[in-house]
Amino acid sequence: MPPKVPTFAEQLAAARSTAVHLEMRDSYSVAKEDQTFPAWQNGFRYDPADRASWWRPWLTLIEDTVGRGVEIRRARIVSEPVSEYIRFEHSGTFTNIAAGEQIRWLPRRQASDIALPGNDFWLFDGKLVRFNHFTGNGESAGPTFSDDPAVARLCATAFETVWQRAVPHEKFAV
C-alpha cells in the first residue's frame, strides 16, 4: 500500500519555525463550488469589519499556525499589467495579512535573472518542499514532495531572492 500523502494542514501543523510559499502563476482555476472569484467579478468585496465571513477554514489554519510561533511568508511573481485573477487575489490579501501571513509581490520582469523551480511550492522549516502542480488551464494536478537538501536549498534561495526584491503588499498597486 502506498504511503499516505499528508494533507497541507498536516504539513503546516508539523512546521516548527517557518513556512514560505512562492506563487508564480497569473491565474488559478477555481473549483466550481468556490464562488469567491465569480462573486468578486460581480462586485463582491470582503468587509474588513466582518472577519467571520472571510476565507475559512484557511485563515483559521493560518492564525493557529502563526499563533504557535511559525512565520508564514508568501511571495507572488506576477506579470504586468496584472491579470484579472491577480487583481482578485490582491483585493482579498488583507485577510491573509490579518491572519498573520506576510505577503510581497514581484513583477515578473524583475525575476528574469533568478533561478526558480518550475512549480509553485511551499517550503516548511527550510527542509521539506511541497510542489504544487497545475494543468495548463490552472487546475490542481496534485502535489509532490521532496526532502532532498539540494532541492530545499534551491527553493530557499529562490524564495529569499524573490522576497528581497519584492514589494510589500501595502505598497504594491494593481
C-alpha cell at 155: 527553493
Domain ranges of the chain: 8-26+53-171
* Count of CB atoms situated within 10 Å of the CB of 31: 8
pLDDT band for 2, please (50, 70, 90 cuts): low
Residue 57: asked if its preceding bond is cis (omega within 30°), the reply is yes
Does the domain at residues 8-26+53-171 carry the CATH identifier 3.40.50.720? no
| Mean pLDDT across the chain | 93
Q: pLDDT tens digits, residue range 27-86? A: 988 766 678 899 999 999 999 888 888 877 889 999 999 999 999 999 999 999 999 999
> Is 75 exposed, middle or buried (CB count within 10 Å of its CB: 0-12, 13-18, 19+)?
buried
Sign of CA dihedral 83, 89, 94, 97: negative
pLDDT given at position 32: 65
Task: Report if pTM > 0.75.
Answer: yes
| pLDDT > 60? residue 1 | no
For range 109-122, the mean pLDDT: 98
| Cell numbers given for 174 | 494593481
Using 50, 70 and 90 to split pLDDT, how confident is the model at 156? very high
